[in-house]
Homo-oligomer: A and B are copies of this chain.
Amino acid sequence: VTRSYSAPTIEAPDLDAAVRAMREHGLRVSAARRLVLEAIFAAGEPVTAEQVADGLGGQLPRSDITSVYRNLERLEEIGLVRHFHLGHGAGLYVRAGAPVREFLLCDACGEVRPVDPSELDRVRAVIRQDLGHEASFTHFPIAGLCRDCARAP
């Protein structure tokens, strides 16, 4: 199944603040690291480590994929990046600080629907009440059937 993707609007990145945060956390601001950060901030949507290494398809200089993984990890540790998964492929990395999205995935047509976490508040409340579990859909999506595919299966 091919996955479609509607990018959530992401507010203008603040690279300088991010660089400051790096220094505050004792991370060196190397060229490679800065490049990963720039790619993540420049991308309008979640991207794979490979896309970052490819310089977002030529928009930025290429990087070594090993360093990209290592830097995404560091940046995630200090809260500048988050990552999540849609299905089975490579992980997707986004700039933290951008609005958090959770995802509904249609197993039939492949639609990926980003939703605002508030839209899942009632869902989380029911899970908490019925099962005593604090659910989070920020790392794995909610799979199933979208409205259209549920109607015409």
Contacts and interface: CB of A to CB of B under 8 A. Distances in A.
Could you tell me the dominant secondary structure of chain A's interface residues? mixed
Contacts of A136: 107, 143-145
Contacts of A146: 132-133
A135 to B, nearest CB: 4
Given A123-B126, A126-B122, A126-B126, A115 B131 contact: yes
A46 interface: no
A139 B141 CA distance: 11
A40 B136 CA distance: 31
Identical chains in the assembly: 2
Contacts of A107: 136, 139
B140 A130 contact: no
A110 to B, nearest CB: 14
Interface of A: 104, 106-107, 113, 115, 119-120, 122-123, 126-127, 130-137, 139-147, 150
